[in-house]
Amino acid sequence: MNSGGQQQFYAQLSSEQTHFGEQPLDSHQTIGEFTSDKPGMTTRHIDVSYGDVQAIFDVNLDLGEQEVLALIGPSGCGKSTFLRCLNRMNDTVAHCKVSGEISLHGTKISEIEAEELRARVGMVFQKPNPFPKSIYENIAYGPKIHGLAENKSDLDDIVEAALRKAGLWREVSSRLDVPATGLSGGQQQRLCIARAISISPEVILMDEPCSALDPIATSVIEELMSELKQNYTICMVTHSMQQAKRISDRTAYFHLGKLIEVNPTRQIFEQPVHPLTQGYLRGRFG
Ligand SMILES: Nc1ncnc2c1ncn2[C@@H]1O[C@H](COP(=O)(O)OP(=O)(O)OP(=O)(O)O)[C@@H](O)[C@H]1O
Ligand SMILES: [Mg+2]
């Protein structure tokens, strides 16, 4: 929520309601279980600033293996900023400073080379961004530069396996040499997912992966995510509460840079605890 939205929200509350238990509503303490029994990634005390403006405040959150974690919250609350910390994409943003500790399967990501990290923690963006190359080359590029294929036949196998996992093989197997930019939006997004998984990442980050897609393409991607989570740690930003409900196992609610509440998805939607989470889920702001 922007600060105007927040003022409006507080104005709707009585003076007793501006406190949650002993805490003021805008306190730092996260409600719920931010740790995971099988963490793929752990983040502790994450602060992020752009120049003098702080965008993330002391966030602690684990991403569990074999789960889809949904990040929700009003526009500008820091969801993309947090996601970009996880594969150090914020390093490439001018004036962006990240502090705190982030680990990938127990290794601090600050100790992993950026290129290796981004192969192990893949990212899929809101707008599909295929390279202006053939379908085949889009998928083959990563495995080639990471030395995952010994010969052309290995590479062909990797390309086919990635396209199959992404549910795209049947649609494109007869035209692997055509430009990927000629595919439909939903196909391009699955191609980008295939590209991410072609280098066998451990974690897949998705920033509003379906917001540019129609309902049919969206349901294809959602089914795909449910299958992929058997093998990967998935963290997805979404503005669609229905989508978070359908496919995520846990949901984390962010508000003005703070992680307000995180719990199993059903619990968050059926019994949100914090008044800010309740307000957002009831459509009072956002
Ligand atoms: N490159 C940047 N430079 C300066 N400020 C930025 C930059 N990127 C994001 N911010 C600021 O950081 C805060 C969090 O932004 P972020 O994009 O992470 O929010 P978000 O929750 O992903 O929003 P949305 O739902 O609109 O995508 C906002 O106040 C935003 O203006
Ligand atoms: Mg965003």
Helices (H) and strands (E) in the chain, counts: 11, 13
Alpha helix locations (H) across the chain? 3-11, 79-85, 114-120, 135-145, 152-165, 169-172, 185-197, 215-228, 241-247, 265-270, 275-281
Nearest to 86 by CA among 200, 237, 195: 237
DSSP state of 17: G
Out of 2, 71, 80, mutate this one to test ligand 1's pocket (max ligand atoms within 8 Å of CB): namely: 80
Output the pTM of the full model. 0.91
Q: Please report, in tens digits, the pLDDT of each residue of the chain (286 residues total).
A: 455 555 566 556 555 556 666 666 666 789 999 999 999 999 999 999 999 999 999 999 999 999 999 999 999 999 999 999 999 999 999 999 999 999 999 999 999 999 999 999 999 999 999 999 999 999 999 999 999 999 999 999 999 999 999 999 999 999 999 999 999 999 999 999 999 999 999 999 999 999 988 898 899 899 999 999 999 999 999 999 999 999 999 999 999 999 999 999 999 999 999 999 999 999 876 6
Q: Rounded CA gap, 161 and 157, in Å?
A: 6
Interhelix angle 185-197/215-228, rounded to 10 degrees, is: 10
CATH of domain 27-282: 3.40.50.300
Closest residue CA from atom 9 of ligand 1: 81
Q: How far is CA 114 from the centre of its chain?
A: 18
Structure tokens at 201: 């990442």
- Quickly count: other Cβ atoms within 10 Å of residue 258's Cβ: 21
Instruction: Sketch the domain layout of the chain as residue ranges.
Output: 27-282
CA 84 / ligand 2 centre spacing (Å) = 10
